[in-house]
A and B are shown apart, each in its own frame.
Chain A
Amino acid sequence: MISARKIQGRKTVAVLPVHYPRELFTAMDIRTVELWGPPGPPRGPDAGRIQTYACAIVRNALAFLASGGADAVDAVLFPHTCDSIQGLATLAPDFGGWEKPALRYLHPKGEDRPAARAFVRAELVHLADRLAELTGSPLEIPRLAAAIGLHAKIDRLRGALLSRRAFLGMGDPALYRLLRRGEFLGPEDHLAELADAARGLGEERMQRGIPLMVTGYVPEPMTLFDSLEAAGAFIAADDYAAVGRRVPAAPPAVGGDPLDTLAAKAFAMPPCPTRGGDQDARMEYLASLYRHSGAAGLIVHVQKFCEPELFDFPAIRRRFARIGAPLLYLEGELENSLSGQVITRLEAFVEMVDAGRMSP
């Protein structure tokens, strides 16, 4: 896939999780391929360079990069997501594992405030300069405006597919494969596929199973959705960092300086612990998402050792206990498939939620 892009003459950048300004890459005609691990056992011995109490995302990524898995790309972008990815962003380029350009995107932590907005804007300019070194062409502002428009369309469609999930005649395994293709497809191709799927959104309820909400980092292994579907459930609301948290809750107004628009978008996203906003605001958002989706239970699906997610779990548990929502906690390490034990827990959870709905 990466090689195919190169034949088209485009530069390609591998991107680690999670938040980054995709519009900037589109505007500069650079394709991005996201690197969530990849899942499964580490590909190569370099995973041993990071202690086993760090998350599998960074250990697998180091092993993958060092074993040549991403040699076809022209650079790697390390967003400023968490301490572990930050550590990887100096370990791999500085001590071996990645020889080509290493880009960093330092997004701010905490609330929306003037200092943070100014910082995002400066970071965007800095990143654009680094990308210009990679491509040999500077950023053209009109092209950025066009890219913002293109990605706004993608966001709208992704948002519609997620928020009107019950009215889409497509199972979760197929829907999540489609949504996650945005991690590596060109934006125009992804938009076409989303538009095609969105034509299936009707006024009539198509999903008849048990509606559940999911929150977590990344939906791996993807067989999770097969198991839920087999158990008679579907995902009515999504708060995965990799999926739902990347669809702006209230998109910023387009027009004016595109760099300002892009900076504003960073603060228009749903609350994500990796951005470190207010915890109450996040709980309010999750409760509202749950209520509006009509979900009957919550699955908290986190990566082991993922501090941003783990710190919020007690608050989620408290909040959803108050609502009276059944909750299932799943912790994983980027496995290729779910264990029989986990499948049994999922089935039992769905049965329990179903029984709860039936009871008076």
Chain B
Amino acid sequence: MIVRRVRYEIVSRAIGPILVSTERWRRRLRDRKGGRAKAPFGPPLESTRKLKELTTLHYLTGRFADGAVPVAWVTSGFPVEVLRTLGFHTVYPENHGAICSVKRMVPVLSGAVEREGYSRDLCGYARADLGSVATGNTPVGRLPKPDLLCCCTNICQTVLYWYRALAVHFRVPLVVIDTPFVYGEARPHLLAYIADQLRELAEIAERVAGRKVDRATLAGTMRLAREGTSLWDECLRAGRARPSPWTGFDSFFHLAPIVAMRGTRECNAYYRMLRDELNDRVARGVGGIADERVRLLWDNLPIWFHLRDLSTVLARNGFNVVCATYTNAWAEAGAMLDPADPEGSSARAYLHVLLNRDLPHKLSVMKRLCREYGAAGAIFHSDRSCKPYSIGQIDLMGRLAAEEGVRGLLLEADHADPRAWSEAQAYNRLHAFMELFR
């Protein structure tokens, strides 16, 4: 334990940062030899380098985490502040699933568990993660084994079924924060239910970590989480400028720290840097794409494995995704966190996330985003892998057109698995959609 802890600390504080900075120099040298073609995009964001370093360090440290510090595998909408306070290293299988998808590894990983009987109709993140667990195959080197599994149903109930399977595999405790769906505003007994569960979570996490939650540290973590959320919101709001200083596709990648490192100083420092860079670009009139003519809203998760091609096709035609319900979801609810009332405010914040609320709320968010960001069109990614996000999209598209004049396109794909992607069909529909704006 002590040896592992020392190794973990050395990697996270010394070796990791050295490796990352060495990589930074190598990249600079490579870029000097010949920069990549920029058109149809604006100049790349400097912060992207820092993002890569942050992510690399997070996963590098993670390789040495188990046996050194308590490790929790956590869903993206989980109230993570208690875990941070207790010194858990957190792993986000959804974030890892996105990396697997970008690296186009999902068919192989999923294939491994499809042979065990998992259906291809299930969530692509879940299949990628379970496949990675089954084969030990991962693009990030190694994922530490969990001491605790933490699952919150505020993004979907799929995570519950997925984590039940992980609990059987790893034979470690599973904590479920069950967040009943909110129609309108949450009734008091829903809030009481979540607050009760948060207290249960604290007890279990304390047992696993072997220490007690320090209330002052918890308040500090809550403050950091709220501040991080607010900084992320400021970054997104920079996209209101014309031209938008970045694209929605950029923002999908830059979402990683607020999902996986929420409540840490590193996360907030990163978003301060990104915000400043974006605001500087706004001041200088630098856009995320070279010639921004039509601004769009994106609904649902990204198509991770095809983001680059899709963004290129849109940018070549002067289309920029300037806002997204997905990235906005992490900017909204965190503002409700209150360090003075950790359980009560967490209950409210984590219950009121976009995916846990009814369709009229989602429509009102979409309308607001379209107005504030000047989006004239919307791409609805009809995601075979994500039923809670996708059911209702057909009506939402109709309402947004009828009530706001925002024209929509339904684009069927999968957020993780390229086998559900029909390129010719999708681009045919996309080009027809773009013609509407000529």
Contacts and interface: CB of A to CB of B under 8 A. Distances in A.
A50 B394 contact: yes
Interface string B168-189: 1000000010101101000101
B407 to A, nearest CB: 19
B4 interface: no
Interface in A56-72: 58
B388 A86 contact: yes
Contacts of B126: 311
A140 interface: no
Contacts of A87: 387-388, 391-392
A343 to B, nearest CB: 23
**Looking at B153, B161, B200, B391, which has the most chain A CB atoms within 10 Å of its CB?**
B391
Interface stretch (A5-13, A173-181, A247-255, A274-282): A274-282
B162 interface: yes
A38 interface: no
B117 A83 contact: no
Contacts of B50: none
B426 interface: no
B391 A276 contact: no
Contacts of B193: 108, 115-116, 118-119, 122
Contacts of A310: 118-119, 121-122
A276 B390 contact: no
A307 interface: yes
Interface string B115-134: 01111011100100000000
Interface in B356-400: 358-360, 382, 384, 387-388, 390-395, 399
A308 B153 CA distance: 13
B273 interface: no
Interface stretch (A28-36, A204-212, A312-320): A312-320
Interface string B198-214: 00100000000000000
Contacts of A304: 121
Given A118-B192, A315-B168, A49 B181 contact: no
B317 interface: no
Chain B: interface size category: 35 or more
A83 B189 contact: no
Given A80-B181, A313-B117, A307 B200 contact: no
B180 A80 contact: yes
Nearest to B384: A53
Contacts of A118: 189, 192-193, 196
Contacts of A114: 196
B197 interface: yes
B394 A51 contact: yes
A305 interface: yes
A143 B179 CA distance: 31
B358 A94 contact: yes
Contacts of B164: 276, 278-279, 311
A139 interface: no
Interface in A315-360: 315, 317-318, 329
Given A87-B387, A90-B360, A106-B190, 4 more contacts: A58-B391, A123-B189, A305-B387, A311-B162
28 contacts: A51-B384, A51-B390, A51-B394, A53-B390, A54-B390, A54-B391, A58-B391, A84-B388, A89-B181, A89-B183, A90-B359, A90-B360, A95-B399, A104-B183, A108-B193, A109-B176, A114-B196, A115-B196, A118-B189, A119-B189, A279-B165, A305-B387, A307-B121, A307-B157, A307-B387, A310-B119, A310-B122, A314-B165
Interface of B: 113, 116-119, 121-123, 126, 153, 156-158, 160-162, 164-165, 167-168, 176, 178, 180-181, 183, 187, 189-190, 192-193, 196-197, 200, 358-360, 382, 384, 387-388, 390-395, 399, 412
